[in-house]
Structure 1
Amino acid sequence: MTALGLLYPGHSAEDDYPRIEQLLGSDIRVDVVHIDPGGTEAGERLAARVAELRLAGADAVVWACTGGFGYDWEGAQQQVRALARAAGLPASATSFGFVHAARELGVRRVAVGTACPDDVAALFADFLRAGGLEVTGVRCSGGVTAAEAGTWGEEEVLTLARAADVSGAEAVVLPDTALHTAAHLSLLERALSKPVLTANQVTVWEGLRLADRRVNAPALGTLFSREPLVQA
Protein backbone atom coordinates (compact mmCIF):
# COMPACT_ATOMS: atom_id res chain seq x y z
CA MET A 1 0.00 0.00 0.00
CA THR A 2 1.22 3.48 -0.93
CA ALA A 3 -0.38 6.27 1.07
CA LEU A 4 -0.29 9.88 -0.12
CA GLY A 5 -0.96 12.78 2.25
CA LEU A 6 -2.40 15.91 0.69
CA LEU A 7 -2.80 19.29 2.40
CA TYR A 8 -5.73 20.92 0.63
CA PRO A 9 -6.70 24.60 1.05
CA GLY A 10 -10.36 25.17 1.81
CA HIS A 11 -13.28 23.17 0.40
CA SER A 12 -13.86 23.36 -3.36
CA ALA A 13 -12.89 20.32 -5.41
CA GLU A 14 -11.48 17.92 -2.83
CA ASP A 15 -13.88 15.24 -4.05
CA ASP A 16 -11.63 14.93 -7.10
CA TYR A 17 -9.20 12.97 -4.93
CA PRO A 18 -11.36 9.95 -4.06
CA ARG A 19 -12.32 9.83 -7.75
CA ILE A 20 -8.64 9.79 -8.70
CA GLU A 21 -7.95 7.15 -6.07
CA GLN A 22 -10.66 4.98 -7.62
CA LEU A 23 -9.37 5.52 -11.16
CA LEU A 24 -5.84 4.53 -10.14
CA GLY A 25 -7.23 1.06 -9.49
CA SER A 26 -4.24 0.01 -7.42
CA ASP A 27 -3.02 -0.27 -3.84
CA ILE A 28 -2.90 3.51 -3.41
CA ARG A 29 -4.62 5.54 -0.73
CA VAL A 30 -5.09 9.31 -0.96
CA ASP A 31 -5.63 11.04 2.38
CA VAL A 32 -6.73 14.69 2.38
CA VAL A 33 -6.35 17.11 5.27
CA HIS A 34 -8.00 20.51 4.92
CA ILE A 35 -6.19 23.70 5.78
CA ASP A 36 -7.22 27.34 6.09
CA PRO A 37 -6.76 28.81 2.58
CA GLY A 38 -5.64 32.19 3.92
CA GLY A 39 -1.95 32.75 3.10
CA THR A 40 0.54 30.23 1.73
CA GLU A 41 3.22 29.96 4.40
CA ALA A 42 4.49 26.48 5.21
CA GLY A 43 5.34 27.26 8.84
CA GLU A 44 3.18 26.55 11.85
CA ARG A 45 -0.11 26.46 9.90
CA LEU A 46 0.99 23.61 7.62
CA ALA A 47 3.13 21.86 10.24
CA ALA A 48 0.19 21.71 12.64
CA ARG A 49 -1.82 19.60 10.20
CA VAL A 50 0.92 17.45 8.73
CA ALA A 51 1.09 15.34 11.90
CA GLU A 52 -2.32 13.91 10.98
CA LEU A 53 -0.96 12.65 7.69
CA ARG A 54 2.17 11.22 9.26
CA LEU A 55 0.11 9.35 11.84
CA ALA A 56 -2.13 8.04 9.05
CA GLY A 57 0.93 6.40 7.50
CA ALA A 58 1.59 8.74 4.59
CA ASP A 59 4.63 7.93 2.44
CA ALA A 60 4.81 11.46 0.99
CA VAL A 61 3.13 14.82 1.50
CA VAL A 62 2.03 17.35 -1.12
CA TRP A 63 0.80 20.90 -0.44
CA ALA A 64 -2.07 21.09 -2.94
CA CYS A 65 -1.68 24.73 -3.82
CA THR A 66 -0.64 26.80 -6.83
CA GLY A 67 -2.67 29.94 -6.23
CA GLY A 68 -0.57 32.05 -3.89
CA PHE A 69 2.85 32.97 -5.19
CA GLY A 70 4.33 35.29 -2.62
CA TYR A 71 7.48 33.21 -3.10
CA ASP A 72 9.85 33.02 -6.01
CA TRP A 73 11.32 29.66 -7.05
CA GLU A 74 13.85 29.62 -4.22
CA GLY A 75 11.29 30.80 -1.69
CA ALA A 76 8.93 28.03 -2.76
CA GLN A 77 11.73 25.50 -2.36
CA GLN A 78 12.31 26.76 1.17
CA GLN A 79 8.59 26.36 1.83
CA VAL A 80 8.67 22.73 0.70
CA ARG A 81 11.82 21.99 2.68
CA ALA A 82 10.11 23.35 5.79
CA LEU A 83 7.12 21.10 5.10
CA ALA A 84 9.41 18.07 4.67
CA ARG A 85 11.10 18.79 7.99
CA ALA A 86 7.76 19.12 9.76
CA ALA A 87 6.46 15.91 8.18
CA GLY A 88 9.63 13.88 8.38
CA LEU A 89 8.64 12.71 4.89
CA PRO A 90 9.35 13.57 1.25
CA ALA A 91 7.32 16.67 0.44
CA SER A 92 6.46 18.87 -2.52
CA ALA A 93 3.74 21.21 -3.78
CA THR A 94 1.43 21.20 -6.77
CA SER A 95 3.35 24.12 -8.26
CA PHE A 96 6.53 22.02 -8.49
CA GLY A 97 4.43 19.09 -9.66
CA PHE A 98 3.52 20.97 -12.85
CA VAL A 99 7.18 21.51 -13.70
CA HIS A 100 8.07 17.90 -12.97
CA ALA A 101 5.06 16.62 -14.94
CA ALA A 102 5.97 18.71 -18.00
CA ARG A 103 9.50 17.34 -17.87
CA GLU A 104 8.10 13.81 -17.52
CA LEU A 105 6.12 14.27 -20.73
CA GLY A 106 9.04 15.89 -22.52
CA VAL A 107 7.16 19.13 -23.17
CA ARG A 108 8.65 22.59 -22.80
CA ARG A 109 6.04 24.99 -24.21
CA VAL A 110 2.82 25.22 -22.19
CA ALA A 111 -0.30 27.37 -22.26
CA VAL A 112 -2.02 28.30 -18.99
CA GLY A 113 -5.75 28.63 -18.35
CA THR A 114 -6.89 29.68 -14.90
CA ALA A 115 -9.77 31.03 -12.87
CA CYS A 116 -7.29 33.12 -10.86
CA PRO A 117 -6.95 36.91 -11.21
CA ASP A 118 -4.45 38.25 -13.72
CA ASP A 119 -1.80 39.13 -11.14
CA VAL A 120 -1.80 35.66 -9.56
CA ALA A 121 -1.78 34.01 -13.00
CA ALA A 122 1.24 36.11 -13.97
CA LEU A 123 3.10 34.94 -10.87
CA PHE A 124 2.32 31.33 -11.70
CA ALA A 125 3.59 31.83 -15.27
CA ASP A 126 6.80 33.32 -13.86
CA PHE A 127 7.15 30.28 -11.61
CA LEU A 128 6.87 27.92 -14.58
CA ARG A 129 9.47 29.95 -16.46
CA ALA A 130 11.81 29.70 -13.48
CA GLY A 131 11.37 25.93 -13.76
CA GLY A 132 12.61 26.01 -17.35
CA LEU A 133 9.27 26.01 -19.19
CA GLU A 134 8.19 28.42 -21.91
CA VAL A 135 4.73 29.86 -21.30
CA THR A 136 3.14 30.51 -24.68
CA GLY A 137 0.12 32.30 -23.23
CA VAL A 138 -2.02 32.85 -20.14
CA ARG A 139 -5.82 32.97 -20.24
CA CYS A 140 -7.71 34.13 -17.13
CA SER A 141 -11.42 33.70 -16.57
CA GLY A 142 -11.81 37.03 -14.79
CA GLY A 143 -10.94 36.30 -11.18
CA VAL A 144 -13.57 33.70 -10.29
CA THR A 145 -13.51 32.74 -6.60
CA ALA A 146 -12.48 29.25 -5.53
CA ALA A 147 -16.06 28.57 -4.42
CA GLU A 148 -17.38 29.56 -7.86
CA ALA A 149 -14.71 27.57 -9.71
CA GLY A 150 -15.67 24.55 -7.63
CA THR A 151 -19.15 24.61 -9.16
CA TRP A 152 -17.88 24.46 -12.75
CA GLY A 153 -18.76 21.40 -14.75
CA GLU A 154 -17.39 19.79 -17.87
CA GLU A 155 -18.54 22.55 -20.23
CA GLU A 156 -16.94 25.39 -18.27
CA VAL A 157 -13.65 23.54 -17.78
CA LEU A 158 -13.51 22.64 -21.48
CA THR A 159 -14.23 26.26 -22.44
CA LEU A 160 -11.34 27.44 -20.27
CA ALA A 161 -8.95 24.86 -21.70
CA ARG A 162 -9.89 25.71 -25.28
CA ALA A 163 -9.53 29.43 -24.62
CA ALA A 164 -6.06 28.86 -23.14
CA ASP A 165 -4.77 26.68 -25.95
CA VAL A 166 -2.62 28.55 -28.46
CA SER A 167 -0.59 27.55 -31.47
CA GLY A 168 2.78 26.17 -30.45
CA ALA A 169 1.75 24.98 -27.00
CA GLU A 170 2.73 21.36 -26.41
CA ALA A 171 0.45 21.03 -23.39
CA VAL A 172 -2.25 23.00 -21.60
CA VAL A 173 -1.97 23.66 -17.87
CA LEU A 174 -5.00 24.30 -15.64
CA PRO A 175 -3.46 25.18 -12.26
CA ASP A 176 -6.55 25.66 -10.06
CA THR A 177 -6.99 23.03 -7.34
CA ALA A 178 -10.52 24.44 -6.96
CA LEU A 179 -11.54 23.04 -10.37
CA HIS A 180 -13.09 19.60 -10.72
CA THR A 181 -11.13 18.02 -13.56
CA ALA A 182 -10.59 14.34 -12.73
CA ALA A 183 -13.72 13.25 -14.59
CA HIS A 184 -12.94 15.38 -17.65
CA LEU A 185 -9.31 14.60 -18.50
CA SER A 186 -10.01 12.20 -21.36
CA LEU A 187 -12.47 14.66 -22.93
CA LEU A 188 -10.06 17.59 -22.52
CA GLU A 189 -7.21 15.76 -24.20
CA ARG A 190 -9.39 14.52 -27.05
CA ALA A 191 -10.74 18.03 -27.65
CA LEU A 192 -7.30 19.69 -27.62
CA SER A 193 -5.29 16.81 -29.14
CA LYS A 194 -2.50 17.32 -26.61
CA PRO A 195 -1.73 16.59 -22.96
CA VAL A 196 -3.69 18.55 -20.38
CA LEU A 197 -2.21 18.93 -16.91
CA THR A 198 -4.65 19.84 -14.15
CA ALA A 199 -3.93 20.69 -10.54
CA ASN A 200 -5.57 17.78 -8.74
CA GLN A 201 -4.28 15.25 -11.27
CA VAL A 202 -0.75 16.65 -10.95
CA THR A 203 -0.95 16.79 -7.15
CA VAL A 204 -1.56 13.05 -6.92
CA TRP A 205 1.04 12.30 -9.60
CA GLU A 206 3.61 14.37 -7.70
CA GLY A 207 2.90 12.42 -4.53
CA LEU A 208 3.35 9.16 -6.40
CA ARG A 209 6.61 10.46 -7.87
CA LEU A 210 7.89 11.21 -4.37
CA ALA A 211 6.86 7.72 -3.26
CA ASP A 212 8.63 6.21 -6.30
CA ARG A 213 5.41 4.76 -7.72
CA ARG A 214 4.33 4.67 -11.37
CA VAL A 215 0.71 3.80 -12.13
CA ASN A 216 -0.86 3.37 -15.55
CA ALA A 217 -4.34 4.93 -15.47
CA PRO A 218 -5.34 6.20 -18.94
CA ALA A 219 -8.55 7.79 -17.65
CA LEU A 220 -6.31 10.30 -15.85
CA GLY A 221 -4.71 11.53 -19.05
CA THR A 222 -1.40 11.25 -20.85
CA LEU A 223 0.53 11.89 -17.63
CA PHE A 224 -0.69 8.53 -16.32
CA SER A 225 -0.56 6.72 -19.66
CA ARG A 226 3.06 6.46 -20.74
CA GLU A 227 6.42 5.25 -19.60
CA PRO A 228 8.27 7.90 -17.59
CA LEU A 229 10.93 9.92 -19.37
CA VAL A 230 12.40 11.09 -16.07
CA GLN A 231 13.32 8.77 -13.25
CA ALA A 232 11.96 9.54 -9.79
Structure 2
Amino acid sequence: MAVTVGFLYPGYSAEDDYPTLERILGAEVALPLVHTEMREDAHRVDALLDIGSAEVLAAGAERLRQQNVSAVVWACTSGSFVFGVEGATRQVRQLAEVAGVPASSTSFAFVRALRALGVRRVAVAATYPGDVAERFVDFLADDGVEVSSLASRGIVTAAEVGTLSSADVLEFVAAHDHPDAEAVLVPDTALHTALLLDELTARVGKPVLTANQVSVWEGLRLVDAVAPQGLGVLSGRRTE
Protein backbone atom coordinates (compact mmCIF):
# COMPACT_ATOMS: atom_id res chain seq x y z
CA MET A 1 0.00 0.00 0.00
CA ALA A 2 1.11 3.55 -0.73
CA VAL A 3 2.36 5.85 1.99
CA THR A 4 -0.18 8.70 2.13
CA VAL A 5 0.90 12.13 3.33
CA GLY A 6 -1.58 15.01 3.20
CA PHE A 7 -0.69 18.63 2.51
CA LEU A 8 -2.43 21.87 3.40
CA TYR A 9 -1.66 24.46 0.75
CA PRO A 10 -2.74 28.13 0.84
CA GLY A 11 -4.49 29.35 -2.28
CA TYR A 12 -3.30 28.57 -5.80
CA SER A 13 0.19 29.12 -7.22
CA ALA A 14 2.53 26.11 -7.37
CA GLU A 15 0.26 23.42 -5.91
CA ASP A 16 0.85 21.33 -9.06
CA ASP A 17 4.34 20.57 -7.72
CA TYR A 18 2.69 17.99 -5.44
CA PRO A 19 1.04 15.79 -8.10
CA THR A 20 4.25 16.21 -10.10
CA LEU A 21 6.34 14.90 -7.21
CA GLU A 22 3.78 12.14 -6.57
CA ARG A 23 4.25 10.98 -10.16
CA ILE A 24 8.06 11.21 -9.92
CA LEU A 25 8.23 9.32 -6.62
CA GLY A 26 6.12 6.43 -7.90
CA ALA A 27 3.11 4.36 -6.95
CA GLU A 28 4.21 3.80 -3.35
CA VAL A 29 3.71 7.45 -2.41
CA ALA A 30 0.40 9.35 -2.39
CA LEU A 31 0.36 13.12 -1.74
CA PRO A 32 -3.23 14.38 -1.50
CA LEU A 33 -3.58 18.14 -1.15
CA VAL A 34 -6.24 20.40 0.34
CA HIS A 35 -6.35 24.11 -0.44
CA THR A 36 -6.77 26.27 2.65
CA GLU A 37 -8.49 29.63 2.68
CA MET A 38 -6.42 32.64 1.71
CA ARG A 39 -8.41 35.77 2.48
CA GLU A 40 -5.63 37.95 1.10
CA ASP A 41 -2.77 36.81 -1.10
CA ALA A 42 0.08 38.85 0.34
CA HIS A 43 3.57 38.17 1.66
CA ARG A 44 2.89 40.65 4.44
CA VAL A 45 3.12 39.79 8.13
CA ASP A 46 -0.50 40.51 9.04
CA ALA A 47 -1.83 38.59 6.03
CA LEU A 48 0.48 35.64 6.75
CA LEU A 49 -0.67 35.44 10.35
CA ASP A 50 -4.22 35.10 9.04
CA ILE A 51 -3.25 32.55 6.36
CA GLY A 52 -1.65 30.36 9.05
CA SER A 53 -4.28 30.90 11.73
CA ALA A 54 -5.58 27.98 13.79
CA GLU A 55 -9.10 28.44 12.44
CA VAL A 56 -8.01 28.25 8.79
CA LEU A 57 -5.71 25.27 9.28
CA ALA A 58 -8.18 23.31 11.39
CA ALA A 59 -10.74 23.42 8.59
CA GLY A 60 -8.19 22.02 6.14
CA ALA A 61 -6.89 19.42 8.58
CA GLU A 62 -10.39 18.08 9.12
CA ARG A 63 -10.76 17.53 5.37
CA LEU A 64 -7.46 15.65 5.26
CA ARG A 65 -8.50 13.56 8.27
CA GLN A 66 -11.42 12.31 6.21
CA GLN A 67 -8.96 11.08 3.56
CA ASN A 68 -7.19 8.78 6.06
CA VAL A 69 -3.76 10.31 5.63
CA SER A 70 -0.89 9.08 7.79
CA ALA A 71 0.65 12.53 8.33
CA VAL A 72 -0.08 16.19 7.56
CA VAL A 73 2.25 18.98 6.47
CA TRP A 74 1.33 22.68 6.42
CA ALA A 75 2.95 23.50 3.08
CA CYS A 76 3.58 27.18 3.66
CA THR A 77 6.95 28.44 4.80
CA SER A 78 6.07 32.07 5.45
CA GLY A 79 2.74 31.10 7.02
CA SER A 80 4.65 29.10 9.62
CA PHE A 81 7.95 30.90 10.32
CA VAL A 82 6.14 34.23 10.70
CA PHE A 83 4.79 32.87 14.00
CA GLY A 84 8.32 32.25 15.35
CA VAL A 85 9.48 28.88 16.62
CA GLU A 86 7.12 28.84 19.59
CA GLY A 87 4.09 29.79 17.51
CA ALA A 88 5.00 27.42 14.69
CA THR A 89 5.37 24.60 17.22
CA ARG A 90 1.92 25.36 18.58
CA GLN A 91 0.59 25.49 15.02
CA VAL A 92 1.71 21.95 14.15
CA ARG A 93 0.63 20.60 17.54
CA GLN A 94 -2.88 21.89 16.89
CA LEU A 95 -2.79 20.44 13.38
CA ALA A 96 -1.88 17.03 14.77
CA GLU A 97 -4.72 17.21 17.27
CA VAL A 98 -7.30 17.97 14.58
CA ALA A 99 -5.96 15.56 11.96
CA GLY A 100 -5.26 12.78 14.44
CA VAL A 101 -1.85 12.06 12.85
CA PRO A 102 1.69 13.48 13.10
CA ALA A 103 2.02 16.98 11.64
CA SER A 104 4.72 19.45 10.64
CA SER A 105 5.26 22.50 8.44
CA THR A 106 7.62 23.62 5.71
CA SER A 107 9.62 25.80 8.09
CA PHE A 108 10.44 22.82 10.32
CA ALA A 109 11.06 20.76 7.18
CA PHE A 110 13.91 23.09 6.22
CA VAL A 111 15.46 22.81 9.67
CA ARG A 112 15.29 19.01 9.70
CA ALA A 113 16.54 18.69 6.13
CA LEU A 114 19.59 20.78 7.04
CA ARG A 115 20.24 18.47 9.99
CA ALA A 116 19.97 15.44 7.71
CA LEU A 117 22.55 16.97 5.37
CA GLY A 118 24.80 18.12 8.20
CA VAL A 119 24.57 21.72 6.96
CA ARG A 120 24.80 24.66 9.37
CA ARG A 121 25.65 27.61 7.06
CA VAL A 122 23.39 28.61 4.17
CA ALA A 123 22.48 31.24 1.63
CA VAL A 124 18.80 32.13 1.28
CA ALA A 125 17.24 33.07 -2.06
CA ALA A 126 13.78 34.30 -1.06
CA THR A 127 11.06 35.62 -3.34
CA TYR A 128 9.45 37.49 -0.41
CA PRO A 129 9.81 41.14 0.59
CA GLY A 130 12.81 41.77 2.83
CA ASP A 131 11.01 42.08 6.18
CA VAL A 132 9.32 38.70 5.70
CA ALA A 133 12.55 37.04 4.54
CA GLU A 134 14.32 38.32 7.67
CA ARG A 135 11.85 36.35 9.80
CA PHE A 136 12.96 33.17 8.04
CA VAL A 137 16.55 34.03 8.95
CA ASP A 138 15.48 34.42 12.59
CA PHE A 139 13.67 31.07 12.50
CA LEU A 140 16.78 29.31 11.19
CA ALA A 141 18.98 31.05 13.76
CA ASP A 142 16.92 29.50 16.56
CA ASP A 143 18.23 26.12 15.38
CA GLY A 144 21.80 27.36 15.10
CA VAL A 145 21.77 27.79 11.32
CA GLU A 146 23.91 30.70 10.10
CA VAL A 147 22.76 32.64 7.04
CA SER A 148 25.76 33.83 5.06
CA SER A 149 23.66 35.87 2.66
CA LEU A 150 20.00 36.76 2.16
CA ALA A 151 18.44 37.80 -1.14
CA SER A 152 14.87 39.11 -1.27
CA ARG A 153 13.12 39.39 -4.60
CA GLY A 154 10.35 41.49 -3.09
CA ILE A 155 7.34 39.77 -4.68
CA VAL A 156 4.20 40.41 -2.66
CA THR A 157 1.75 37.78 -3.95
CA ALA A 158 2.06 34.01 -4.18
CA ALA A 159 0.17 34.14 -7.47
CA GLU A 160 2.96 36.20 -9.06
CA VAL A 161 5.66 33.92 -7.64
CA GLY A 162 3.90 30.96 -9.26
CA THR A 163 4.28 32.51 -12.72
CA LEU A 164 8.09 32.64 -12.64
CA SER A 165 9.63 30.52 -15.39
CA SER A 166 12.11 27.70 -14.84
CA ALA A 167 14.86 29.83 -16.39
CA ASP A 168 14.03 32.69 -14.03
CA VAL A 169 14.12 30.38 -10.99
CA LEU A 170 17.47 28.89 -12.02
CA GLU A 171 18.99 32.31 -12.63
CA PHE A 172 17.67 33.80 -9.38
CA VAL A 173 18.91 30.94 -7.21
CA ALA A 174 22.33 30.69 -8.89
CA ALA A 175 22.85 34.45 -8.59
CA HIS A 176 22.30 34.37 -4.84
CA ASP A 177 24.65 31.65 -3.68
CA HIS A 178 27.45 32.70 -1.35
CA PRO A 179 30.97 31.18 -1.23
CA ASP A 180 30.68 30.56 2.54
CA ALA A 181 27.33 28.78 2.27
CA GLU A 182 27.15 24.99 2.34
CA ALA A 183 23.70 25.01 0.72
CA VAL A 184 21.15 27.39 -0.77
CA LEU A 185 17.59 27.56 0.58
CA VAL A 186 14.64 28.62 -1.57
CA PRO A 187 11.82 29.02 0.93
CA ASP A 188 8.59 29.78 -0.98
CA THR A 189 6.07 26.97 -1.67
CA ALA A 190 4.52 29.27 -4.30
CA LEU A 191 7.60 28.69 -6.48
CA HIS A 192 7.59 25.85 -9.03
CA THR A 193 10.68 23.72 -8.39
CA ALA A 194 9.60 20.05 -8.56
CA LEU A 195 11.14 19.55 -12.01
CA LEU A 196 14.28 21.58 -11.26
CA LEU A 197 15.74 19.90 -8.18
CA ASP A 198 18.73 18.18 -9.78
CA GLU A 199 19.31 21.05 -12.20
CA LEU A 200 19.37 23.61 -9.39
CA THR A 201 21.97 21.64 -7.44
CA ALA A 202 24.07 21.10 -10.57
CA ARG A 203 23.84 24.77 -11.51
CA VAL A 204 24.87 26.02 -8.07
CA GLY A 205 27.39 23.26 -7.38
CA LYS A 206 26.09 22.54 -3.88
CA PRO A 207 22.84 21.33 -2.30
CA VAL A 208 19.77 23.44 -3.07
CA LEU A 209 16.70 22.91 -0.91
CA THR A 210 13.33 24.19 -2.07
CA ALA A 211 10.10 24.55 -0.12
CA ASN A 212 7.95 21.95 -1.88
CA GLN A 213 10.86 19.49 -1.95
CA VAL A 214 11.48 19.67 1.80
CA SER A 215 7.75 19.60 2.55
CA VAL A 216 7.33 16.25 0.81
CA TRP A 217 10.51 14.89 2.42
CA GLU A 218 9.28 16.00 5.85
CA GLY A 219 5.94 14.27 5.31
CA LEU A 220 7.70 11.02 4.49
CA ARG A 221 9.95 11.46 7.52
CA LEU A 222 6.90 11.78 9.76
CA VAL A 223 5.77 8.28 8.76
CA ASP A 224 9.33 6.89 8.94
CA ALA A 225 9.50 6.35 5.18
CA VAL A 226 12.77 6.82 3.31
CA ALA A 227 12.38 9.30 0.45
CA PRO A 228 12.76 7.54 -2.89
CA GLN A 229 14.70 8.98 -5.81
CA GLY A 230 13.12 12.16 -7.08
CA LEU A 231 13.70 14.52 -4.18
CA GLY A 232 17.13 15.70 -5.25
CA VAL A 233 19.77 15.77 -2.52
CA LEU A 234 17.17 14.54 0.02
CA SER A 235 16.55 11.23 -1.75
CA GLY A 236 17.28 8.43 0.69
CA ARG A 237 18.03 10.85 3.55
CA ARG A 238 16.77 10.36 7.09
CA THR A 239 16.98 12.36 10.27
CA GLU A 240 15.85 12.00 13.87
TM-score interval, normalised by the smaller of the two chains: over 0.9
Tell me the number of residue pairs that the alignment of Structure 1 and Structure 2 aligns: 228
Letter in 2 for 1:206: E
For residues 162-201 of structure 1, what are the structure 2 equivalents within 5 Å? 162-201=174-213
Alignment check: 8 A CA contact 1:24 1:216 kept: yes
The 10-residue stretch of structure 1 (155-164 or 115-124) with the greater mean CA deviation from structure 2: 155-164
Q: Which blocks of at least 5 consecutive residues in structure 2 are unaligned?
A: 40-49
Q: Which runs of 4+ in 1 moved over 3 A?
A: none
The 10-residue stretch of structure 1 (142-151 or 3-12) with the greater mean CA deviation from structure 2: 142-151
SS at match of 1:6: strand
- 2:221 corresponds to 1:209: yes
Partner of 1:142: 154
TM-score in terms of structure 2 length: 0.91
Letter in 2 for 1:210: L
Alignment check: 8 A CA contact 1:118 1:140 kept: yes
Letter in 1 for 2:3: T
Shift of 1:72: 1.6
- 2:138 corresponds to 1:126: yes
Q: Give the whole-Å Cα distance in 2 for the aligned partners of 1:153 and 1:220.
A: 20
Say if 1:13 and 1:170 are closer, same or farther in 2 by CA, change over 3 A: same
Which residue, 53, 56, 59 being the options, matches 1:48? 59
Q: Give the whole-Å Cα distance in 1 for the aligned partners of 2:136 and 2:51.
A: 14
Deviation digits for residues 129-163 of structure 1, max 9, x if unmatched? 11221111110112242111101121111112112
Alignment check: 8 A CA contact 2:217 2:231 kept: no
Deviation digits for residues 184-229 of structure 1, max 9, x if unmatched? 1111111111111000111111100001100231x421111x443x
Alignment check: 8 A CA contact 1:101 1:202 kept: yes
Shift of 1:42: 4.1
Please give the root-mean-square deviation of Cα atoms over the aligned residues, in Å: 1.3
Partner of 1:19: 20
Deviation digits for residues 96-150 of structure 1, max 9, x if unmatched? 0000000011111111111100000000111011122111111011224211110
Q: Give the whole-Å Cα distance in 2 for the aligned partners of 1:215 and 1:109.
A: 24
Q: Which blocks of at least 5 consecutive residues in structure 1 are unaligned?
A: none
Partner of 2:113: 101
Q: Give the whole-Å Cα distance in 1 for the aligned partners of 2:38 and 2:136.
A: 17
Partner of 1:30: 31
Q: Give the whole-Å Cα distance in 2 for the aligned partners of 1:19 and 1:198.
A: 15
Alignment check: 8 A CA contact 1:110 1:171 kept: yes
The 10-residue stretch of structure 1 (29-38 or 7-16) with the greater mean CA deviation from structure 2: 29-38
